DNA sequence: CGCTGTATCTACCGGTGAGTAACCTTACGC
DNA sequence: GCGTAAGGTTACTCACCGGTAGATACAGCG
């Protein structure tokens, strides 16, 4: 028996604070995405992060603070991705198309981020909901600007059947829910998903059942 | 001093089991809708129900069972309301219109039911999510049937840009999200909400910005 | 090779809340 | 009336988890 006196399981190597913080945040996003805010335990986060609990409290504060950090980081990442995808100098429908593709691309690549932002943060009231609200409002404004500019260019005034913000909210909601639906139907590609939505919201059922199709114009 | 020996604060009057069960379920829906599954405490449910905790366990089982009962009852109520609103012998767009109005009418009258079904049940994994999935799937099938029948009547085959189920999912999602948005913008009437959505999904942005408007035909 | 500060850990506390055992109380049938 | 079972309660246990105090190891400098 080589009594190799391995004292503790193992002690984490000393690392600069910035690196540890990133590791902890990554672990937290993963754990929160799986269990939700309340069911997630700080013990599990610390275990996944490969670091002991007091480190988390020392670096990122209490559970609530930790969750807030997660939301903010992921929301920033996502907005950044969508903004980067939009090309400002193309027609409104193509802007929407690129935005949608960027969005679904992000969800595909960052499933956990999306779960935290959409499924978890919304339900826990308090400081979290308002944080997500900022994200959604930003998205709605982005879309709303598109719609209103497209509409007013045609001289369309606001009327009962047309509220820029309302429609934008519905659109953003449709995109979100389709992303949710996607989680359980992953055999569809992100491009196809974006295409469905584009056809629905741009053409509408009425045109669709007549056999019309919307397709992206050349880049 | 009139020593009126009021023994305990008060003891609940004896009531038949069915009545108590309804009271408890009502209380549970209310509490769950406010705090979510995890933050809700059985103590609060019992307090709101005006009954002591062991009664809940005796009648409706553990916390998980109680929540399941809530979801099932509210889901049934909602489906029932929507089904009752749909008139089978009118054109597809009018069926959709009536369905949407019934849906938003239900949300308006049963805010708490909606909160439990949409915001709470989804986030807590396990048995709950699947229960809500049944509801959503039923809704999607309802809409999908409408769309596909409308499409196939025109001889429209399934193709990349047109998936009955996908579109129905997007539509249901849009309706859900708009209902959510509504919670924070209650100054809009349910009819206006349904009208927005109807215009969006039936006509599409393309037609909307051209100034077209969809309006319900006479009953 | 010690000294020191900071990174990291072990080991605990205390609150909260699910679930239960044992007891009381009233309506109702006979 | 009175027995009894269903309705109802009090008062507890126990596990889990957020948060922390205080000990420990390690890098870098004199």
- The CATH number of residue B98's host domain is 1.10.357.10
Q: How many CB atoms lie within 10 A of CB A93?
A: 19
**Whole-angstrom distance, CA of residue A170 vs CA of residue B171:** 9
Whether residues A103 and A44 fall in one domain: no
Question: What are the average pLDDT values for consecutive 10-residue runs of chain B, which has 219 residues?
Answer: 43 89 98 94 97 96 97 96 92 90 96 92 80 90 81 58 76 88 87 88 79 73
Q: Is residue B214 part of a domain?
A: no
pLDDT reported for residue A151: 66
Whether residues A98 and A188 fall in one domain: yes
- Long-range contacts made by residues B151-158, C-beta under 8 angstroms, separation at least 24? B151/A208, B151/A209, B153/A209, B154/A209, B154/A210, B154/A211, B155/A211, B156/A208, B156/A209, B156/A211
The CATH number of residue B40's host domain is: 1.10.10.60
Mean pLDDT estimate for chain A: 84
Whether residues A37 and A139 fall in one domain: no
Q: Is residue B117 part of a domain?
A: yes
Q: Is residue A111 part of a domain?
A: yes
Whether residues B147 and B122 fall in one domain: yes
**Whole-angstrom distance, CA of residue A33 vs CA of residue A73:** 14
Q: Is residue B1 part of a domain?
A: no
Whether residues B115 and B182 fall in one domain: yes
**Which domain, by its residues, includes A191?**
70-208
For residue A146, the Cα-to-chain-centroid distance in whole angstroms is 20
Whether residues A85 and A149 fall in one domain: yes
**Whole-angstrom distance, CA of residue B91 vs CA of residue B101:** 16
Q: Is residue A6 part of a domain?
A: no
Give the domain-ending residue among B20, B40, B61: B61
Asked if residues A197 and B170 have their Cβ atoms less than 8 Å apart, the reply is yes
**Whole-angstrom distance, CA of residue A44 vs CA of residue A24:** 11
Residues with CB under 7 A from strand D: A 7, 11, 13-14, 40-43, 53-54, 57, 62-64; B 8-9, 11-17, 20, 51-55, 58
Whether residues B27 and B111 fall in one domain: no
Chain A positions in Cβ-Cβ contact with residue B159 (cut-off 8 Å): 213
- Distance from CA(A120) to C1'(D24), angstroms, rounded: 38
pLDDT reported for residue A210: 74
Asked if residues A170 and A143 have their Cβ atoms less than 8 Å apart, the reply is no
Question: Chain A: nearest CA to B196, how far in angstroms?
Answer: 5
Q: What is the count of structural domains for chain A? A: 2
Is residue A121 classed as helix, strand or coil in its secondary structure?
coil
pLDDT, tens digit, for every residue of A56-77?
999 999 999 999 999 999 999 9
Whether residues B24 and B79 fall in one domain: no
**Whole-angstrom distance, CA of residue B102 vs CA of residue B142:** 14
pLDDT reported for residue A4: 37
Whether residues B34 and B92 fall in one domain: no
What residues are paired with A176 via a beta bridge?
none
Whether residues B83 and B178 fall in one domain: yes
**Whole-angstrom distance, CA of residue A112 vs CA of residue B12:** 48
- Distance from CA(A9) to C1'(D17), angstroms, rounded: 23
For strand D, give the nucleotides within 7 A of a protein CB: 6-11, 16-22, 25-27
pLDDT, tens digit, for every residue of A155-172?
555 555 566 777 888 888
Whether residues A56 and A126 fall in one domain: no
pLDDT reported for residue B52: 95
C-beta atoms of A170 and B177 within 8 A: yes
pLDDT reported for residue A9: 55
For strand C, give the nucleotides within 7 A of a protein CB: 7-11, 16-22, 25-27
Q: Is residue B7 part of a domain?
A: no
Alpha helix ranges (H) inside chain B: 17-39, 42-49, 53-60, 63-85, 92-109, 111-114, 127-153, 164-183, 190-208
Q: Which one of A122, A180, A192 has the shortest CB-CB distance to B160? A: A192
pLDDT reported for residue A17: 87
Give the domain-ending residue among A27, A42, A61: A61
**Residue B110 DSSP code:** T
**Whole-angstrom distance, CA of residue B150 vs CA of residue B131:** 29
pLDDT reported for residue A3: 38
Whether residues A127 and A193 fall in one domain: yes
pLDDT reported for residue B42: 97
Q: Which residues of chain A have pLDDT under 50?
A: 1-8
Q: Is residue B56 part of a domain?
A: yes
- Distance from CA(A41) to C1'(C5), angstroms, rounded: 31
What DSSP string describes B58-97? Answer: HHH-SHHHHHHHHHHHHHHHHHHHHHHH--TTS-HHHHHH
Give the rounded percent of residues in chain A with a pLDDT score beyond 90.
Answer: 42
Q: Give the alpha-carbon dihedral of B90, B92, B94, B95, to 10 degrees.
A: 80
A150 CB within 8 Å of a chain B CB: yes
Q: Give the alpha-carbon dihedral of A38, A43, A48, A49, to 10 degrees.
A: 110
Best of A209, A213, A215 to disrupt the B interface by mutation (most B CBs within 10 Å)? A209
Listed by number, the residues of chain B in 175-214 with a beta carbon closer than 8 Å to a beta carbon of chain A are 176-178, 180-181, 188, 192-193, 195-197, 199-211, 213-214
Q: Is residue B45 part of a domain?
A: yes
Q: Which nucleotide is nearest to B8 if distance is taken from CA to C1'?
A: D9
């Amino acid at each position: 028996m080589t009594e190799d006196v391995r004292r503790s399981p193992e002690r984490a190597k000393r690392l600069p604070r910035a690196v540890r913080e990133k590791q902890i945040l990554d672990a937290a996003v993963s754990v929160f995405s799986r269990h939700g805010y309340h069911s997630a335990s700080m013990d599990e986060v610390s275990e996944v992060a490969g670091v002991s609990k007091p480190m988390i409290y020392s670096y990122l504060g209490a559970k609530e603070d930790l969750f807030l950090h997660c939301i903010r980081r992921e929301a920033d990442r996502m907005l950044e991705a969508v903004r980067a995808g939009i090309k400002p100098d193309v027609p409104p429908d193509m802007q929407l198309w690129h935005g949608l593709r960027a969005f679904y691309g992000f969800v595909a690549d960052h499933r956990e981020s999306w779960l935290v932002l959409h499924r978890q943060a919304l339900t826990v009231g308090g400081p979290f909901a308002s944080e997500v609200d900022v994200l959604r409002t930003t998205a709605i404004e982005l879309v709303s600007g598109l719609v209103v500019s497209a509409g007013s260019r045609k001289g369309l005034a606001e009327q009962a059947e047309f509220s820029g913000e309302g429609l934008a909210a519905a659109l953003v909601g449709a995109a979100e829910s389709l992303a949710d639906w996607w989680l359980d139907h992953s055999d569809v590609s992100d491009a196809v998903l974006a295409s469905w939505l584009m056809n629905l919201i741009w053409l509408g059922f009425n045109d669709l059942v007549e056999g019309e199709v919307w397709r992206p114009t050349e880049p």
